[in-house]
Structure 1
């Protein structure tokens, strides 16, 4: 029996999501095309793999038995391709958006697959990362892709991989420092500060515009120590960082979750559409698995805020509690 690997991959991704819409999005397929692949696979092996009842999807007993061998089949195929190409060069991963701690996400993914040979490089922004990809100096980029790909060259493709909640960061003596949570609207009477030109950080510009906040942006991004020193010496300023970012215990600042709504900072991967590096697909797969397990792309319009240009892409992720 000859198995079609594209059909097997369609089954595995759908089994991991138990949601045809999400699986189709991950595979860059329409739901109709995904359903056809799975139907052909079921026809080939002669058993039904999924039970579909209304909006509910679940594995049949045959599907449960098939899942792990199917995963091993895909891994073996990736290994065979890598061996045939004999490409020993590391996967060159470019990262930008340093003040918002991209390495936190990269570390969480790479720790899951220490066997991936990855070489990191740092760029100053999306434009520089895009140019490096087009010149084939790098293989894949990780950072914020404005408007989820609007204006990217046709040779590049991208995937949203994480929506990260944000926190307000402020001097421990600030009048709001004792709050357990803050709403974006609570920041209207303070100055939101960040050490970068506003046009280079569209996320903060759109946040300020949508919630009527006053922003002060400019200067040179000299890293986290400078950032914290400024908040200590300028107690009237408030800034933003990803929720959960470790801060020194003696930093003299507090990070307070933002709620009602929760602003989400989007992280994406971009790569050349025709890239053949054997480690690219394993890296994309690990990001997808981490996202499913940890809810990285969960988006609920009743609870979360995104710039309007990004809602459509995030909307492909089903709100919590949906199937």
Structure 2
């Protein structure tokens, strides 16, 4: 199939006008019409009908459109497969101070020859869309959250179970505890303004609350980790959860305490997601590195939501 004609078809379908598609493709409108006619002849169907405002896909055109887009994505991946290493490996992490960033720093130390672009996307839907479009090569996420099963072309593997810790200020009633159980946290106010409804971490904490009767408040604007640490240090009634591998720095005067949570230990299940046809050679290197250097915690004594991707 003529990929140039397929690309032209997608341009017309998305712009709704032959003239606009011609401008976007830097060709004449006559060339656009000729390519569409050639494609229609090859397929044996009409792809567009003329409308007052331009061109509208026929029923056959609507049916062909997602396949046309996939053809273009496959073509781009095929081109990328013969120019390995010409661009950095693009990996998404939730935030710069999380365990995911620590995993990428470890990978960079082990493979300094690999060019990396580390970025932060908002949620799993955004990340999956970016993976499928080729905007990124991989993403660290908790999958599969309720109602968010991954598309068939997205591969995933659970790479790290990160224990949660309780973070409290020096005047908190639990400040001197060597560890706390989840049962001991019932009735305490746990403040986490970064929780966003509909995200995978929102689903994780919703299940944690439902399972153990905790009180997690997500009220107020999220001004970032520094503001959160200031508030926890100054407010004896508040605590927050943080990952064991999160790298946070606070002033010495804050006197914050990181306390292990037990019986059971809630762990956050980090998984790596990628497109099954991604040809970037460094992606295989990253997956091999994570397999060799990460290990989950024993299932006994830990808790994850029932929807978490199995190890």
TM-score with structure 2 setting the length: 0.67
Q: Is the 8 A contact 2:99 2:245 kept in 1?
A: no
Q: C-alpha distance in 1, partners of 2:242/2:212?
A: 17
Q: Is the 8 A contact 2:182 2:262 kept in 1?
A: yes
Of residues 227, 250, 273, the one that matches 1:248 is: 250
1:265 aligns with 2:268: yes
Higher Cα Rg: structure 1 or 2?
A: 2
- Cα distance per residue 1:65-90 (max 9 Å; x no partner): xxxxxxxxxxxxxxxxx996444111
Q: Is the 8 A contact 1:97 1:124 kept in 2?
A: no
1:7 corresponds in structure 2 to none
1:298 aligns with 2:297: yes
CA shift at 1:256, angstroms? 0.2
Q: Is the 8 A contact 1:100 1:241 kept in 2?
A: no
1:278 corresponds in structure 2 to 281
Q: Which runs of 5+ in 2 are unaligned?
A: 1-79
Q: Is the 8 A contact 1:162 1:266 kept in 2?
A: yes
Q: Which runs of 5+ in 1 are unaligned?
A: 1-81, 315-323
1:75 corresponds in structure 2 to none
Q: Is the 8 A contact 1:99 1:224 kept in 2?
A: no
2:36 corresponds in structure 1 to none
Q: Is the 8 A contact 1:95 1:121 kept in 2?
A: yes
1:313 aligns with 2:310: yes
Q: C-alpha distance in 1, partners of 2:238/2:97?
A: 17
Q: Is the 8 A contact 1:169 1:255 kept in 2?
A: yes
CA shift at 1:101, angstroms? 4.5
2:176 corresponds in structure 1 to 178
- Cα distance per residue 1:250-270 (max 9 Å; x no partner): 133211011111111111111
Q: Is the 8 A contact 2:165 2:242 kept in 1?
A: yes
- SS of 2:110's equivalent in the other structure is coil
- SS of 2:172's equivalent in the other structure is coil
TM-score with structure 1 setting the length: 0.65
2:60 corresponds in structure 1 to none
Q: Is the 8 A contact 2:144 2:150 kept in 1?
A: no
